[in-house]
Amino acid sequence: MLALDRVTRCFNGVPAVDQVSFDVASGEFFSLLGPSGCGKTTTLRLIAGFDDPERDGGSIRMFGDVVIGKRPYQRPIGMVFQNYALFPHLNVADNIAFGLEERRIARREIRRRVDSALELMRLDPATYSARRPAELSGGQRQRVALARALVLEPRILLLDEPLAALDPQLRKQMRLELRQLNRTLGITFLLVTHDQEEALVMSDRIAVMSAGRVVQIGAPGEIYRRPRTAIVAEFIGEANIFQGTVVAIADGIATVTQSDGSHWRAAVPPAVTAGDRVDIAVRPEWHELASGHTEVPGTNALPGHVREIIFLGESVHAIVTLRDGRDARVALRHTGAMPGTLPWRVGDPVTLLWHMYDAQVLEQ
């Protein structure tokens, strides 16, 4: 349905989008995820037709046809902007009808499609049609912006951080509603966001971007459990990165020493050999914590002390300072509703534990 092949866009000679390639399937909820300045919004603008790639800067196809040079209204897309971009001087019905009027749709058909779009967004046409955007809540304005895009019956819906202006609770609600809308309508959704939780909740697949390039594409669970690089590991969720040099390998298990002389073991790919430097990522929830400085057979163990305890509501995180001075984060499960259930306090000696298979070797 949508295919980008080595798309490049530069500003003042600096690539904002650099050789970006990916395909999006029909009906898929696909997300571009990354920090500010990584190129995701520029990529969306190239898809929408608000900007063009460099000359010889790759191709963009929709349904097999090259769309470079076509204006946005000539592409089978609808778009929801971060600030919604509703016309303040028009009421809700006229905002939604604007694109239909530009396309010279019959007035009776416009009214039918506007009412249908409002009902799809669970907004009663009799109640909301005559209201101005200033008379709506943030969630209602977001629904009107969605209705305005969907009333054009696009085959691809582009979403430019549409939930950024909502409060946290409403944002969580709208994530599920957008996901359900994608399934109900069966059209392709392409979301741009810097919110990792947003992408994980809603997406079928995620393309993680950094410095203008796509660094990994995959299903949410795949990217979370198997990040390829430190950039992905640290941006998708949280990760503790351990670095060291391989001193021995037996049956695919490497023994790795760190600069402070401590060691750990990890399952490594066949290309890794003795003497190689390796980095691994371990998620905070894959760790366990033991009191004191003790060895646990079959488990990696690094001594340290508790530097901080952070209460996060549904979980508690312990920040452990290791012998080499680096900090590691451990996600701890609550053991009960009563306070004071954690056995550790700030300053206590502890051992950071993890199984050698509960780690991902990162690309250098």
pTM exceeds 0.85 for this model: yes
Where in the chain is CATH 3.40.50.300? Answer: 2-234
Cβ-count burial 187-210 (b if 16+ within 10 Å, e if not):
bbbbbbbbbbebbbebbbbbbbbb
Q: Which contacts (CB < 8 Å, 24+ apart) does range 293-297 have?
A: 293/349, 293/350, 293/351, 294/351, 295/351, 296/351, 296/353
**Which tokens sit at 152?**
């054009």
Please tell me the predicted confidence (pLDDT) of residue 122.
87
Find tokens 């996600």 and name the residue: 331
- Reading the chain (364 residues) residue by residue, the pLDDT tens digits are 999 999 999 999 899 999 999 999 999 999 999 998 999 999 999 999 999 999 888 999 999 999 999 999 899 999 988 888 899 999 999 999 998 888 888 989 999 999 999 998 889 999 999 999 999 988 888 889 999 999 988 999 999 988 887 788 888 888 998 899 899 989 999 999 999 999 999 999 999 999 999 999 999 999 999 999 999 999 998 999 999 999 999 999 999 999 888 999 999 999 999 999 999 999 999 999 998 887 777 799 999 999 999 988 778 899 999 998 999 999 987 666 555 567 888 999 999 999 999 999 998 7
Largest interatomic CA distance in the chain: 78
Please, where are the H alpha helices in the chain? 40-48, 92-102, 107-120, 125-128, 138-150, 168-185, 196-202, 220-225, 230-235
Q: pLDDT tens-digit profile of 268-289?
A: 999 999 999 999 999 999 999 9
| CA–CA gap between residue 48 and residue 361 (Å, rounded) | 37
Return the SS3 of 325.
coil
- Quick one: which of 29, 362, 50 has its CA closest to 176? 29
| CA–CA gap between residue 213 and residue 209 (Å, rounded) | 5
| CA–CA gap between residue 361 and residue 86 (Å, rounded) | 47
Please tell me the predicted confidence (pLDDT) of residue 314.
77
- Kindly report the CA angle at 95 between 90 and 99, in degrees rounded to 5? 130
The amino acid at residue 226 is R
Domain 2-234, architecture per CATH: 3-Layer(aba) Sandwich (3.40)
- Kindly report the CA angle at 242 between 237 and 246, in degrees rounded to 5? 140
Please tell me the predicted confidence (pLDDT) of residue 313.
77
Please tell me the predicted confidence (pLDDT) of residue 340.
57
CATH of domain 238-361: 2.40.50.140
**Which tokens sit at 230?**
């430190």
Please tell me the predicted confidence (pLDDT) of residue 336.
60
Compute and round to an integer the Cα radius of gyration of the chain: 25
Find tokens 């696009």 and name the residue: 154
As a whole number, the mean pLDDT across the chain is 91
Where in the chain is CATH 2.40.50.140? Answer: 238-361
Q: pLDDT tens-digit profile of 86-106?
A: 999 999 999 999 988 888 889
